[in-house]
Structure 1
C-alpha cells in the first residue's frame, strides 16, 4: 500500500512532521528530562529540591566523569550536553570558511543573544556587552572609570584577587586611594555587613566595589542595601557577580548596581570563556572601553566588545545554556543548590573538630560551603578527600578564611555527598 501523507498526519492527531521527527532523533536523556519536567510542573521548588528521582534526569544531561566526584563547580562548571554539542557544531561550521561563517553568519546571532541575556539578567538590552569572563568585564570598569589622584575606592579584603590586583595597579600608577573593609564571615547580619561598608565611605569616595557572593565561602552580601547607601552619597557601585549570576534569583537592575560583571561558565553552564558586562545606560558614555573603540565616549554598549577575533562558536552556544537554565527553572535550581549545601553540612555539623564557615540560611548562602578542621591545613584535608575518596574540592587560605571549599551543582547527587560526609567523618576521627 503506498504511503499516504494525509492519513499519516491524521493518525498522529495533528502532530507536525517536524515535531514527530524531532522526537525520533531526540536523545533518551533529553526525552527523559522533558518528561520529568512535565510530571513535576506543579511541585513547589522547595519540595522538588529533595526529589532525587527528578534530579537524576538532570544529571543525565551532563557528561561528568564517573572517576571523580567533582565538588569544585565554583571554579568552573561543566556545560550540559546540549551546550557542548552546540559549541562543537558551531566550531565545525566556522572552520568551513572562518572569515565568512564566523563574521557574516554566526556574528549575526549576537543581538539575539544580547536580548536573551538581558531578559535573564533583568535589564535593558542596551546595557549588556558580551565578554569572555568576569575578569574581563570587571577590569573594563576598573580601568575605564574616570578617577584621579586622591579619589577613594572602597573594597573588601575578601574580594577576588584579580579585581584586587587591578585596583592596586590603578593605585600604583595613578595615586588613587584604596580603602579596605575586612569582614568577619560567615555572617547572618545584613546590618553589620552593610555598616561595614558605610563606615568606610568618606567625602572622597568615588566607587564601592562589592562582591555579590564571596567566592571563598559563599557569603551573600546585601548589595542593594550597600548600593542605596552609596548612591545617597554620590558613590558609584561596581558589583562582582561571578558567583551569583544564574546561581540564585535576582535582577541586576534591582540590585542598584551601576556596573556588574559575571562569568557564564560557572553557574549558567555556558562554555568555558564566556561572560558579560552590564553598564547602566546613563553610565556608558563616560566609561572608557578596555579595548579601543573608534569613539570611546559614544553611548553604545557595543563599544566594550572590540576584543578582536573571538570564538563565535563559544559565544553562540551561550544561547543553549540559557535555554537549559530556563528549562530547569531559576527557582528550582536555586532551591536544589541550597538543599545540597545544607544536606552535607547538616550531617557533619557535630563531627569532632569540624568548623563550618558558611551560613545555611537562605539569603546568606547557596551552593558554596567552606569546611575546616581544627589544627589541620586546608591542603591536607583537600588531599585526603581526593587521594582516598576521589573527591575534587579546593583548599582556601585567603585573609581570615581558611578551609576546603565544597561546591556541588545540579548534576550532583546526594549519594555523592554521602561519600563526602563519610570522608569528613573518617578524617574528623584521626
Structure 2
C-alpha cells in the first residue's frame, strides 16, 4: 500500500473513530457485549430493586479506573472521574488532533458536535436547537447572567447557598450596573417545599425580574422545589434561571418539565463526561434576547450555536462527552439515580446512629439523592475532612458557607459498599476522639 493509500485509510478510520454514536465507539468495544448479557439477566427488575444488586454494580464499577484508586473518592459532587471508555476516547482524539490539529480538529472532530448536541438534548428531553455545548456550569450560567438585559434598579432574587461563581457574577452586575441582588438564606435541611416557595414569593417586589435557583444545593444536597417556584414566578411575570450542575445526569427529569427559562450544568459531575465539559439550555423563544459572552456574528441571532463561539477549544474533551452518554444510557438514568441514592442512604443511616455524629441532609427521597453532609461534635469541617483523609484515606470536602457547616460526602456508581463501610468506621473512630 502506497503512502497515499495509507493516508486515505487513516482518514477513513479517523472519521469512524470520531463518532461516539457509531458501532466503533469506545463504549461498544469495551463494554457492549458484556453489558448486553448483563442487561438480559436483569430485565425483570425495577430501578429500585436494581439499586441493591451488587452483582450488577460490580460490573459497572469495573468500567472506572477510579474504582481501584488507592484513596476512597467521596467527592464526586466536585468532579467525577470518567469511565475508561471516556478516558480512552479523549486520549485517542488528542493523539489524532496532534497529528494535524487544524485538519483533524476542525474537519473531523468538530463535525461530531451535532450528534453530540442531539444526544445531550435527548437525555434532557428537549429540542437540540435549545442546547449549546460549553465547558462547565459556570460558563453556561454566567453566559445567561451577563447576557440578559437588566436596568438599574431591576431586582434579582437568589440565595446565599447558591454556587459562589454565580453569586459573584450577580454581585458584579450590581456593582457595575446598579441592579439589586437580593439573597435569601434557608435553614437546610428542609422537608417543607411550601416554606421555600413562600420565601421567594415574599421577596418579590414590583421591580423583581429574575429568580436564580439551584436545583440541588451544592453544599448539602438539598433538592429544591424548582417547578413550584418556577410556576409561582411565571404567574408574576418573572424569568427563572436554574443551576443544574448537580442534577443533570443524576436525577431522572426532563429539563422543560422544570418550567424554567434557562438551565446550565456541568457534564463532568454525575454524567462522568471529560473534565471541563458543560451544557447550556435556553428555551427556544428566549435565545434571541440573550447576548453571547463571545460574539462572532449576530448577537441577537436565534441560533443556539452563537453561545459556542469559544475560539479554539479542546475537541477531544468535547467529543469524549459522547462516550459518557453511551455509558450513562447503558445504565439508565432512573437506575443510576436509585443506586446513588441508595449509596447515600446506606452510609448516612448508619452514621446518624453514631453518638456525636450529625447528618445535615434530609434522607427523604424527594429531598436528596447523592450528596449528604456530616459533622462530628467538637470538630470543624476542615478538621473532620483532614482526619478522614489522614487516617482512613477517604477524600471528601469541607463545607462552610452561609449557615451550612459540614463535610460533604458524594458517592458515585463506581463506589463500593466496602468504601462506605470504611467511611462509617472512620466516623465512629473519630467521634470517639
Q: TM-score, normalised by structure 2?
A: 0.92
The 3-state SS of whatever aligns with 1:153 is strand
1:293 CA drift (Å): 2.8
Aligned partner (choices 368, 381, 388) of residue 371 of structure 2: 368
Q: Partner residue of 1:14?
A: none
> Distance between the aligned counterparts of 2:420 and 2:373, measured in 1?
14
Q: Partner residue of 1:8?
A: none
Q: Partner residue of 2:248?
A: 245
Aligned partner (choices 151, 154, 166) of residue 151 of structure 1: 154
The range that moved more, 136-145 or 29-38, is 29-38
1:22 CA drift (Å): 11
2:175 is aligned with 1:180: no
The 3-state SS of whatever aligns with 2:289 is coil
* Deviations, residues 356-379 of structure 1 (Å, cap 9, x unaligned): 111111121001010012231011
- Please tell me whether the aligned partners of residues 197 and 226 of structure 1 are also in contact (alpha carbons under 8 angstroms): yes
> Distance between the aligned counterparts of 1:51 and 1:111, measured in 2?
36
Q: Partner residue of 2:56?
A: 54
1:308 CA drift (Å): 0.4
1:108 CA drift (Å): 0.9
Q: Partner residue of 2:45?
A: 43
Q: Partner residue of 2:20?
A: none
> Distance between the aligned counterparts of 1:22 and 1:283, measured in 2?
35
Aligned partner (choices 209, 217, 220) of residue 214 of structure 1: 217
How is 1:56-95 mapped onto 2 (pairs within 5 angstroms)?
56-64=58-66, 65-95=68-98
The 3-state SS of whatever aligns with 2:281 is strand
> Distance between the aligned counterparts of 1:21 and 1:389, measured in 2?
41
- Please tell me whether the aligned partners of residues 267 and 274 of structure 2 are also in contact (alpha carbons under 8 angstroms): yes
The 3-state SS of whatever aligns with 1:199 is helix
Q: Partner residue of 2:16?
A: none
Structure 1 residues 305 and 66, CA, compared in 2 at 3 Å: closer, same or farther? closer
- Please tell me whether the aligned partners of residues 188 and 359 of structure 1 are also in contact (alpha carbons under 8 angstroms): yes
2:410 is aligned with 1:399: no
2:366 is aligned with 1:379: no
> Distance between the aligned counterparts of 1:124 and 1:133, measured in 2?
20
**Structure 2 unmatched runs, 5+:** 1-22
2:142 is aligned with 1:139: yes
> Distance between the aligned counterparts of 2:128 and 2:33, measured in 1?
33
- Please tell me whether the aligned partners of residues 155 and 209 of structure 1 are also in contact (alpha carbons under 8 angstroms): yes
1:30 CA drift (Å): 5.9
* Deviations, residues 291-350 of structure 1 (Å, cap 9, x unaligned): 113110111101111110011111111111111101001111000000000000111112
Where has structure 1 moved over 3 Å in runs of 4 or more? 20-23, 29-34
Aligned partner (choices 260, 265, 279) of residue 262 of structure 1: 265
The 3-state SS of whatever aligns with 2:391 is helix
> Distance between the aligned counterparts of 2:29 and 2:138, measured in 1?
37
> Distance between the aligned counterparts of 2:416 and 2:202, measured in 1?
43
1:21 CA drift (Å): 12
Q: Partner residue of 1:236?
A: 239
Aligned partner (choices 274, 278, 281) of residue 275 of structure 1: 278
How many pairs does the alignment contain? 410
- Please tell me whether the aligned partners of residues 377 and 431 of structure 2 are also in contact (alpha carbons under 8 angstroms): no
Aligned partner (choices 304, 307, 328) of residue 307 of structure 2: 304
* Deviations, residues 222-261 of structure 1 (Å, cap 9, x unaligned): 0000000111111110000001111111111010110000
1:52 CA drift (Å): 1.2
Larger radius of gyration: 1
Structure 1 residues 222 and 351, CA, compared in 2 at 3 Å: closer, same or farther? same
- Please tell me whether the aligned partners of residues 30 and 61 of structure 1 are also in contact (alpha carbons under 8 angstroms): no
**Structure 1 unmatched runs, 5+:** 1-19
2:216 is aligned with 1:204: no
The 3-state SS of whatever aligns with 2:102 is helix
- Please tell me whether the aligned partners of residues 244 and 264 of structure 2 are also in contact (alpha carbons under 8 angstroms): yes
- Please tell me whether the aligned partners of residues 25 and 323 of structure 2 are also in contact (alpha carbons under 8 angstroms): no
The 3-state SS of whatever aligns with 1:284 is helix
> Distance between the aligned counterparts of 1:21 and 1:401, measured in 2?
47
What do you get for the CA RMSD once the two structures are aligned? 1.7
How is 1:117-136 mapped onto 2 (pairs within 5 angstroms)?
117-136=120-139
2:118 is aligned with 1:106: no
Q: TM-score, normalised by structure 1?
A: 0.93
The 3-state SS of whatever aligns with 2:353 is coil
